[in-house]
Chain A
Amino acid sequence: MSTVSAQPSWWRRNEVRLAPYLFIGPFYVLYALFMIIPIGAGVYLSFTDWAGLGAPQWIGLENYRYLLQDNSFWTSLGNTVFYMSFTMLVVLPASLLLASALNARGLKLRDTFRIIFFVPVVISPIVVALVFGLIFDGQFGLMNALLQAVFGFGGIEWTTDPLWARVVVVVLVLWRWTGYLTIFFLAGLQNVPRELYEAAALDGAGAVRSFLSVTLPALRPVTAFIGVTVLVSTAQIFEEPFLLTQGGPGESTLSIAMFIYRAAFQRQELGYAAAAGVLMFAAVFTIGRIALRLFQVGRNA
């Protein structure tokens, strides 16, 4: 008596081959839906004149040509470069110094300090903007009252003078992000072996020499990661100038991200906003890649 073995089903025959696709499939579907398609749509819209309703009208490179002639765009670009420079030259070093101070041996209330430094980043930006608005109000603000009481002058037009308005925005950036970045540096510092500092001390190195010769080289991977992250996120800065000054006075604190928002949602120029968005994407991507290579993120030292 012979037995006839049943033909395995289609799924049985292909299950091993298909299983990996099924596991990774949901990610790629979502990635395509929420990343690839929107980016593609954005690039397409950047070549059109579209107010948000009706069929987009193809206008080729006109939006890009207008952008290059738009003084407002260049102003916002200049402001964004200023914000980026400030974060790289002031916020980043300040975070590192703060982390070094917090990492000092024998420091009491270390955890309390950590929490205090971390608080600004978890407070609602709306509340922060309201409080900063009260502090830096030219007429009734706390800062002018303080300056008046201590130094005898206090008539600074914090948010109505173009230069001072930029200063107020970067002060907000400094206050909001320094503590947050300090936490990253602190994590890095705690992985630096104590023996290195002891060896440096035996060689006669003081605090500054130890910082330059031990701390900085040891923190290089962390610094590189934070530097790239901060650079890319500052290139897209929006909340601070939007909530504090709405880009004013005039356009003196307008950032590129605000420029795009304004074009899309205040002026209903979605094609134009898309073109600015594409340029910003290209610039941020390029800056990110250059920074990655420059700081050698993810490479062995």
Chain B
Amino acid sequence: MSDPTRRQVLWGFGALGAAALAGCSSASATPITQGEVQLNFWAHDPGYDATFAASAVDPAIQQGSRWTYELEMTAANAGDLVSRAITQAVARRRGPDLIGVVVDQFPRMMKSRIAQNMLVPLDDLIQPFGDQLLKQGSYTSDGSVYGLESDNSISVLYYRQDVFQENDIPETVGSWEELAEAGTRLAATTGQAIGMVSTGDPGAVFNSFLQFLLQRGGSVFGADGSLTLDSDESREVLAFMRKGVQDGFLMPLADPYGGAVAAALKNSELVATVMPNWYRAYGLEANVPDQEGLWKIRTIPPFQAGGHIASTLGGTGFAVASDTARSDAAVELLRRTYLTPEGQFLRYQKGGYLPTLAPLYQEPQFLEITDPFLGGQRIFEVYGEAALDMPAFDQHVGMQVMTTTLGGPVLDAVMGRSTPDQAIAAAVAAYRNQVRQ
């Protein structure tokens, strides 16, 4: 046997490496049609873990199911969940069977048909519900729905009833303009604000603008995918936000959850704000538990020029990984948890997530719910009215780009460094430059 050359030795190491890499692939399996099934469940919020864990063992929800479920929970931040799911798919390793995709992460899955390649289309599942199932547009790509929304995320006006009464601000004020007028007087006399605008990172600034824009009846992208940002509604909203900061009725804060907003709430400098239903727990109760009973909610006063009495912000859609042995079982768990009245009631109990089936807002089991933090208010009387007039939020593959390109110009307009016209023009130009149109 001849001595090996240096080249042969190095090739040997290369072959070893290749063999090690080849061992990383996984084999496909036949679908599990019944019996026990273990599902990988990935989400960013423990409320979802609690909801699905309870649903999986709830006899009323799982009655007649062909499967019994064991859930393996994985928690991570919203962006990492999507990144990790994609890399697992690329490596042909087992990833999530059920994944909670936060609404601002879904556009990443619209790129290059990632959603179509990775996720189960849910059109057949939701077809019987028609328009009764709310918020379908947020997880739609190329006409197919790939995620079921967990929470209707209805934005309402939170307000301190005691401060409104002390300062003669009518709780039933009819329009934003009237409320702004009262807010300006309040700011001048007591220094208190009746709303906030985010001035922090581009994402927070974008969300702050988007919430007002949707309420006003505007949008960033249309349902057909066209760019609709350059509109009168956008300019009016920017002018309104600028006026609010200038006159003091809107308080500029870095973000709606951090230390600054906690200080503003504790000092009673921020006495009202438009935010979604989940803000009660994450924003108000978390920062000012001692103000229990002082806060109330109502629908948002509409703009005189038109729009809605509600808005929306945030959300998490649950999707099912396609082409696995567990896909059918995961779809069925999702259906029973998210598309049945029992499941949606359980979802509300476990995480405070509002129903996405419109008729449920009129059901006694929801209507009778009262909220101690909101002074025992029957909150579904407000949410029910708001749900009927929710603006649509349509996703677009360029939404992530728009979030960063719009953040700077909006902030410039809000802080008075540019006009609304200039801000919209700058945002559209930057967007087109970055998406190469």
Contact = CB atoms under 8 A, between A and B. Distances in A.
A69 B436 CA distance: 9
A53 B252 contact: no
Contacts of A246: 200-203
A262 B264 CA distance: 32
A278 B249 CA distance: 48
Contacts of B415: 157, 160-161
Interface in B97-149: 108-109, 111-114, 117-118
B239 interface: no
A289 interface: no
A16 to B, nearest CB: 11
Contacts of B379: none
Interface in B171-219: 199-203, 205
A53 B86 contact: yes
Contacts of A54: 112-114, 117
A59 to B, nearest CB: 12
Interface string A1-17: 00000000010011001
Given A18-B4, A248-B200, A160 B79 contact: no
A267 B411 contact: no
Tell me the interface secondary structure of chain B in the complex.
Answer: helix
Nearest to A30: B17
Nearest to A26: B13
A159 B202 CA distance: 11
B434 interface: yes
B434 A70 contact: yes
Contacts of A32: 13-14, 17
Interface stretch (A86-94, A135-143, A170-178, A199-207): A135-143
B277 to A, nearest CB: 26
Nearest to B16: A29
A137 B260 contact: yes
A249 B114 contact: no
Interface string A43-73: 0000001111110000000000010011110
A35 B211 CA distance: 45
A14 B117 contact: no
B79 A140 contact: no
Chain B, interface size category, equals 35 or more
Taking residues whose C-beta sits less than 8 angstroms from the other chain, chain A's interface range is 35 or more
Given A29-B16, A140-B260, A66 B408 contact: no
B113 A133 contact: no
B60 interface: no
A139 B202 CA distance: 18
B408 A140 contact: no
Interface in B13-27: 13-14, 16-17
Given A18-B9, A140-B264, A71 B433 contact: yes
Interface string B401-436: 100100111011001000000000000001001101
Contact of B199 (A13, A29, A130, A138): A138
A245 B112 contact: no
B201 A248 contact: yes
Given A33-B17, A69-B433, A140-B264, A249 B83 contact: no
B258 interface: yes
A134 B259 contact: yes
Interface in A234-261: 245-252
B89 interface: yes
Contacts of B434: 70-72
Contacts of B109: 268
Contacts of B404: 247, 251, 262, 266
Contacts of A245: 201
B108 A72 contact: no
Nearest to A57: B112
23 contacts: A17-B3, A28-B13, A50-B112, A52-B87, A52-B114, A53-B114, A53-B117, A66-B436, A134-B260, A137-B260, A139-B254, A140-B260, A160-B254, A160-B415, A161-B415, A246-B203, A248-B202, A249-B199, A249-B411, A250-B409, A251-B404, A266-B108, A268-B111
A-B pairs with the 9 shortest C-beta distances? Answer: A250-B408, A246-B201, A51-B112, A51-B111, A268-B111, A140-B263, A268-B108, A160-B199, A140-B260
Given A53-B112, A70-B433, A265-B83, 6 more contacts: A29-B13, A137-B260, A159-B200, A160-B252, A248-B202, A268-B400
